Amino acid sequence: MLFVAAVAAAGISCQRQDYLMPDPDALPPVVESLVTAGETLVYGDSLACEFTVSDASAISHAELELVVDNAVRYSKLWAGHNATSMTLRDTVSIPFQSMCVNTSGIIRVSVMNKEMKETEYTREIQVRRPGFVSIRFVPDDAGLQAVELEDDGSDVYSASGLSFDNGVTGFIHGSVDGQEDDVIWGFDQTAGICMIGAETPVTLCDSESIEMKVSEIVFDAVSFEITPLEKERSVQGVALLPYKVSPSDAENVSNTFRTVSPVHLEQGSEVALELIDLEEVMFDPDWFEVSGDCLVYTGLTGDVNLYLNTLWNFVFVEHESWPFVSQMAYPETLFINGWGVACPELWFYNPNWDFSKALSMRQTGNDGGEYTWRMTVAASVDANFKFYTGSDWGYEIAPTGITYEGDALEAREESGKPGNYNIYFKSGQEFKSCVIALEVTAGGTATVLKSEILRTSDKDK
């Protein structure tokens, strides 16, 4: 009995293998017809298609595809169910999105039979942009009239001589020839452009207008870009925005704007700025230099976070390799700890003699064991601090053993603590806070502190 069962099983297995083997002499299926409701497909519209396929034995499946710019933009698959003939109908479509241009495409029908033979048939069609008869800006305020935008011949629509207040909101409406409903664009905050169907209105703002008015509107119906939008201060296209150290914080860090993401800068490259006046704003000269009316990055190539503190109109730089606060060891870094000295904002980042918040100076030189470190910091006129070669109250550089170059700083005995000396500003300073560049050279025969006050303010917050 076992032998019979085994043979029977083997026989079934052989039959299955024979059944699955395609017939190399089988004829391919046939696409008998492909009919479309026209030769043009408009973005955002659809095109009806009908096709008939047949096969002498059995159809495995059939597929209809729309191919535009070598990409399949629409497809539908039908199972054959062993039929020998099928007439199928569907509509193909392609959405109207930004950067859609007039082009050509193909309708492709493919059919495969049970013998794994396939036939493909294509028909070329034209893919066209909608034919707008008018595009206009419709304000949300019912008391304001809609503005007709004129085409310059390249799908860029504009209107000038306007007098909308900055901050006016509304939607872009486009009337298409032969369509009852308008195409309506709102604004997509993430993409930074108008989007069809977006529910957020466009907010127009001419940040450079002295009158605080929107006098011109320009809408690119290909890229969906619109101007004027409210501009933000930016570096290399990365915006500087008020920020919170933690999203759960109740308030932003005072007076401080940070790039929303790290900015990649190449050493020696010119830096693109938006709404930043180099006559008013200073970028840390350890990392940047001004050449004519251009800003050039002179620091190490890499990603940096930039902090614009409006109290001094100064931009601090935090390089990916040199964070303001780090766990690096001497001599890669020299620590600054104290009170009233911080970076990039005076009080939020004040170490207050807490080594977990001590600032890390960047090593910029090594001459046979004589090291140089630099850092630009914010400081109160009442600041007092020291330099340390190790974290967690490691070896301190005695303030009385430092040679001070410049008129800003000196060693002075701490009030109420005889014999304990810190570094202070010399008396008679005419500011309440400042930005000061520090350079320490140590490890040789002497320790030298060079300092240069870069910016001052009669406020400290």
**Ranges of CATH 2.60.40.1930 domains, the chain:** 30-128
- Condensed to tens digits (0 to 9), the pLDDT of residues 167-220 reads 999 999 999 988 899 999 999 877 788 999 999 999 999 977 888 899 999 999
DSSP per-residue letters across 11-60: HHHHHHHHHHS--TTPPPPEEEEEEES-SEEETTSEEEEEEEEE-SS-EE
pLDDT band at 59 (very low <50, low <70, confident <90, very high): very high
The pLDDT score that the predictor gives to residue 20 is 60
- Using alpha carbons only, how large is the chain's radius of gyration in Å? 36
For residues 132-162, one letter each, b for 16 or more C-beta atoms within 10 angstroms of the residue's C-beta and e for the rest, the string is bebbbbbbeeeeeeebebeeeeebbbbbeee
Structurally, what CATH architecture does the domain formed by 333-457 represent? Sandwich (2.60)
Query: 3-state class of 412 per DSSP?
Result: strand
Bridge partners (DSSP) listed for residue 139: 170
User: Regarding beta strands 234-235 and 226-227, do their DSSP bridges make them parallel or antiparallel, or are they unpaired?
Assistant: unpaired
Check pLDDT > 80 for residue 372. Answer: yes
Going by C-alpha positions, the residue among 245, 292, 238 that lies closest to residue 265 is 238
Tell me the C-alpha distance between 127 and 146, whole Å: 31
Average pLDDT, the chain: 91
Res 244 pLDDT > 80: no
Indicate if the pLDDT at residue 254 is higher than 80.
no
Instruction: Using CB atoms within 10 Å of the CB of residue 210, give its burial: 0 to 12 exposed, 13 to 18 middle, 19+ buried.
Output: exposed
Q: Is 14's pLDDT higher than 60?
A: no
Report the C-alpha gap between 246 and 400 in whole angstroms: 40
Confidence of residue 15 (pLDDT cuts 50, 70, 90): very low
Please choose, from the candidates 225, 219, 44, 224, the residue with its C-alpha nearest in 3D space to the C-alpha of residue 148: 219
Cβ-based neighbour number of residue 440 at 10 Å: 21
What does pTM read for this prediction?
0.58
CATH architecture of 30-128: Sandwich (2.60)
Q: Which residue has the higher pLDDT, 217 or 407?
A: 217
For 303-359, how does the pLDDT look when each residue is reduced to its tens digit (9 = 90+)? 999 999 999 999 999 999 999 998 888 889 999 999 999 999 988 889 999 989 999
- C-alpha–C-alpha distance, residues 169 and 200, integer Å: 9
